[in-house]
Amino acid sequence: MAFLIRMGQPEMESLWLDLTTRKQQGKLDKDEEKFFKKLVKALGYLQENPRHNSLASHEIDDLTRKYGLKIFQSYLENNTPSAGRLFWAYGPDKGDITVLAIEPHPEDQKRGAYQRIKLSTLPAAKPKPHGKG
């Protein structure tokens, strides 16, 4: 089952809109182009299989406790200083995954490393169709 990838409100949605618009216009600089390519690749893996080996997805207990829903972290890249990480959650609807933040990798050994991460909010669930009756 492929998941529908959604962007958190408002930060991730704004970032995605900016990147995709400037990509279509050919206005990304070299570093942005590199980042965009990594992001699209990671989102493709996330859409097809959130447990894909390249993503190394795992729940972040500190963020789950802080936000009250299961928050996962996946690799955007690996083996680079401050390697990027995607923070995401299932929902708001069944079959959705919402990207809530993209951050450099927090230093896990430091106490409270995840406390500085600010997540976007889940978008609204799609309205349910009214049943006949």
CATH of residue 33: 3.30.2310.20
Q: What is the DSSP string of 4-70?
A: EEEE-BTHHHHHHHHHHHHHHTT---HHHHHHHHHHHHHHHHHHH-TT-TTT--EE-HHHHHHHSS-
What is the model's pLDDT at position 34?
92
Flag whether pLDDT at 133 surpasses 50: no
Inside any domain, residue 95: yes
The arithmetic mean of pLDDT across residues 62-89, rounded, is: 88
Inside any domain, residue 128: no
Inside any domain, residue 119: no
CA 101 to chain centroid, in Å, comes to 5
Q: How many CB atoms lie within 10 A of CB 45?
A: 18
Inside any domain, residue 121: no
Inside any domain, residue 114: no
The chain-wide mean pLDDT, for the chain, equals 89
Inside any domain, residue 131: no
Q: How much of the chain, in percent, has pLDDT values that exceed 70?
A: 87
Amino acid making up residue 74: S
Give the domain extent around 60. Answer: 4-108
CB of 36 closer than 8 Å to CB of 23: yes
Q: Give the least confident one: 5-19, 56-70, 114-128.
A: 114-128
Q: How many CB atoms lie within 10 A of CB 97?
A: 20
What's the burial of 61, exposed, middle or buried (CB within 10 Å: 0-12/13-18/19+)? exposed
Give this prediction's pTM. 0.88
Inside any domain, residue 70: yes
Inside any domain, residue 123: no
DSSP state of 121: B
Flag whether pLDDT at 52 surpasses 50: yes
Q: How many domains does the chain have?
A: 1
CA 133 to chain centroid, in Å, comes to 39
